[in-house]
Amino acid sequence: MDRLDREILGILQEDARISYRDLGVRVGLSANAAGDRVRRMRKDGVIRGFTVIVDPAADTRSGLVVFIDVSLRLDT
């Protein structure tokens, strides 16, 4: 993974729905090159998926909605 991959990851974390064209413009690549990098990172397991974050106030069901974010540290 290089600097461009890390920059792409940062942008995708802010907006996972960005088009490859707009992503490419932001990092100085063509749409095809940006898309190739995203597909490679998905294939390599760097990007494991895309997530939708739902506003709890928009949920009309009764009950409790819980979001959990867990970070793990690998010991060597």
74, part of any domain: no
Contact (Cβ atoms closer than 8 angstroms) between residue 50 and residue 18: no
pLDDT band at 74 (very low <50, low <70, confident <90, very high): confident
How many Å apart are CA 74 and CA 52, to the nearest integer? 27
How many Å apart are CA 5 and CA 20, to the nearest integer? 13
Q: What is the mean pLDDT of residues 71-76?
A: 80
65, part of any domain: no
76, part of any domain: no
- Each residue of 7-28: pLDDT tens digit? 999 999 999 999 999 999 999 9
54, part of any domain: yes
How many Å apart are CA 47 and CA 68, to the nearest integer? 19
Number of domain units in the chain = 1
How many Å apart are CA 20 and CA 26, to the nearest integer? 10
CATH number at residue 7: 1.10.10.10
Domain of residue 39 covers 3-58
User: Across the chain, what does the average pLDDT equal?
Assistant: 89
- Each residue of 35-48: pLDDT tens digit? 999 999 999 999 99
